């Protein structure tokens, strides 16, 4: 059974191989979980025992906002949310604040949770130290009313000129990761405005000129392009999203029409983000190709993927490849059937051949694509229905 993310509700962790070690990561918040002994296998990071030895750090943080939660408090006294808990043993995690980066440790199983970016911040740190004496650990401070944005790591308020961008996130000067780009490099007169707009401007700057300080031309990799693509969909910047695809100019109207629906945009952006942790150039529901302009997302016509899935199912049934046919069924149907039972049902059902024939005809007609699936109409109140599961189309009903 997959372990739950300590921070994200109803989000299981996924295995991720980093160098020679398999750890766990959250596809939503991109935090990392290290079981006992795993962090020690990265010699350029401090060992878990160095965090566990810091006895003075005895508070937890709440799941919703990161407020401190004392050992005697069952819930956060500020927002009433639960404290973060260990994904391995459910023990309450302890927040350890060091001069390098805060981390969460489990006093029971001795696992370590690192928020997104903390693993990079700990690079080269061989000895962890607590913050200066008298500094009381606090929740992330809110930005001043005049600040344009917040540091995504420590929460300090920032103006554009004080900010640094890296892979779509904004950091202060103290927290910025290597390769980040300064907002001061933007042209004077760039308007501030909402965080989303400024973040978009800084992210574009980061993709365009990251590495300039070393004199190298940085070409954004597949993950950077895919993350920018997901962000453009989420923010309804369809022209920018389309520019990051490999589709030809004549396909642009169909792309804009398909993603005019907000639910379709959000569903696609979610698929792309969930694929990022395992992405090289291809992952489930996401493929990138390298063109002369750089990496580009492959976006098929909206109807192509469900047509291919239904055709694959029908081909497998007609060829008697029942394992393949069973694998193309939706989760509820796979739970009810086995490949052997599927074969027997098709043999015993008098109308099975007629249903397959009608489904073949439906392939030649229109298809209605939604955020959750697709339908091939078969006349009044009947259709071949497919659902979207883990980024792939699966057959849910022949009619």
Query: What is the arithmetic mean of pLDDT over 245-255?
Result: 79
| Residue with more model confidence, 308 or 172 | 308
pLDDT for 120 beyond 90? no
Maximum Cα interatomic distance, the chain, rounded to a whole number of Å: 81
pLDDT tier at 135, thresholds 50, 70, 90: very low
Q: What is the pLDDT of residues 2-16, one digit of tens each?
A: 899 999 888 899 988
pLDDT computed for residue 340 by the predictor:
92
Least confident piece of the model among 91-100, 179-188, 281-290, 389-398: 179-188
pLDDT for 248 beyond 90? no
pLDDT for 331 beyond 70? yes
Beta bridge partners of 103: 96
Per the CB < 8 A criterion, the answer to whether 33 and 25 are in contact is: yes
d(CA 291, CA 343) in angstroms, rounded, equals 44
pLDDT computed for residue 290 by the predictor:
66
| Beta carbons within 8 Å of 179's beta carbon, 6+ residues apart | 166, 210, 211, 218
| Residue with more model confidence, 327 or 171 | 327
pLDDT for 139 beyond 60? no
Query: What is the arithmetic mean of pLDDT over 209-215?
Result: 38
Q: Are strands 368-369 and 94-96 parallel, antiparallel or unpaired?
A: unpaired
| Residue with more model confidence, 134 or 125 | 125
pLDDT tier at 283, thresholds 50, 70, 90: low
pLDDT for 322 beyond 90? yes
| Beta carbons within 8 Å of 167's beta carbon, 6+ residues apart | 203, 206, 223, 224, 227
Tokens of 346: 């098709």
pLDDT for 180 beyond 90? no
Nearest CA-CA partner of 202 in 240, 160, 154, 248: 160
| Residue with more model confidence, 117 or 166 | 117
Query: What is the arithmetic mean of pLDDT over 260-285?
Result: 77
Question: 198-202, 222-226, 314-318 — which one is most confidently predicted on average?
Answer: 314-318
Q: What percent of the chain has pLDDT over 90?
A: 13
Q: Degrees (nearest 5) of the Cα angle 352, 353, 358?
A: 95
pLDDT for 249 beyond 80? no
Mean residue pLDDT of the chain comes to 76
d(CA 240, CA 184) in angstroms, rounded, equals 24
pLDDT computed for residue 293 by the predictor:
64
pLDDT computed for residue 262 by the predictor:
87
| Residue with more model confidence, 172 or 44 | 44
Query: What is the arithmetic mean of pLDDT over 316-336?
Result: 91
pLDDT for 98 beyond 50? yes
pLDDT for 346 beyond 80? yes
Q: Are strands 112-114 and 282-283 parallel, antiparallel or unpaired?
A: unpaired
Helix (H, G, I), strand (E, B) or coil at 253: helix
Residue 248: DSSP 8-state: -
Nearest CA-CA partner of 119 in 138, 104, 141, 135: 104
Question: 50-64, 134-148, 371-385 — which one is most confidently predicted on average?
Answer: 371-385
d(CA 111, CA 296) in angstroms, rounded, equals 38
Least confident piece of the model among 73-77, 151-155, 162-166, 240-244: 151-155
Least confident piece of the model among 14-18, 52-56, 129-133, 254-258: 129-133
pLDDT tier at 194, thresholds 50, 70, 90: very low
pLDDT for 145 beyond 50? no
pLDDT computed for residue 41 by the predictor:
87
């Amino acid at each position: 059974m997959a372990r739950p993310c300590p921070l994200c509700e109803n989000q299981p962790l996924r295995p991720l191989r980093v160098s020679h070690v398999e750890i766990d990561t959250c596809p939503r918040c991109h935090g990392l979980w290290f079981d006992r002994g795993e962090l020690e296998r990265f010699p350029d990071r401090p060992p878990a025992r160095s965090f566990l030895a810091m006895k003075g750090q005895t508070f937890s943080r709440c799941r919703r906002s990161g407020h401190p939660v004392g050992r005697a408090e069952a819930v956060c006294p500020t927002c009433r949310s639960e404290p973060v808990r260990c994904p391995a043993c459910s023990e309450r995690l302890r927040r350890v604040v060091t001069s390098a980066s805060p981390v969460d440790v489990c006093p029971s199983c001795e696992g370590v949770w690192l928020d997104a970016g903390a693993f990079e911040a700990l690079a080269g740190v061989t000895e962890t130290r607590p913050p200066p004496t008298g500094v009381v650990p606090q929740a992330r401070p809110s930005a001043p009313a005049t600040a344009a944005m917040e540091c995504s790591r420590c929460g300090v308020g920032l103006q554009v000129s004080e900010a640094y961008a890296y892979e779509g996130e904004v950091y202060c000067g103290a927290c910025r990761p290597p390769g980040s780009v300064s907002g001061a490099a933007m042209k004077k007169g760039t308007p501030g405005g909402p965080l989303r707009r400024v973040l978009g401007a800084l992210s574009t700057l980061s993709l365009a000129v990251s590495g300039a300080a070393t004199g190298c031309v940085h070409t954004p990799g597949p993950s950077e392009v895919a993350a920018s693509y997901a962000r453009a969909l989420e923010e309804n910047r369809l022209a920018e999203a389309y520019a990051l695809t490999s589709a030809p100019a004549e396909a642009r109207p169909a792309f804009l029409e398909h993603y005019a629906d907000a639910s379709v945009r959000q569903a696609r952006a979610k698929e792309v983000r969930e694929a990022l942790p395992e992405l090289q150039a291809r992952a489930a529901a996401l493929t990138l190709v390298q063109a002369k302009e750089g990496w580009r997302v492959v976006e098929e016509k909206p109807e192509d993927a469900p047509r291919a899935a239904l055709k694959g199912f029908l081909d497998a049934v007609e060829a008697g490849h029942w394992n393949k046919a069973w694998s193309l069924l939706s989760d509820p149907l796979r739970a009810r059937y086995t490949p052997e039972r599927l074969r027997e049902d098709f043999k015993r059902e008098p109308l099975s051949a007629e249903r397959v024939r009608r489904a073949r005809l439906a392939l030649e007609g229109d298809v209605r694509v939604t955020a959750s699936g697709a339908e091939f109409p078969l006349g009044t109140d009947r259709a071949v229905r497919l659902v979207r599961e883990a980024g792939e189309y699966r057959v849910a009903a022949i009619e």
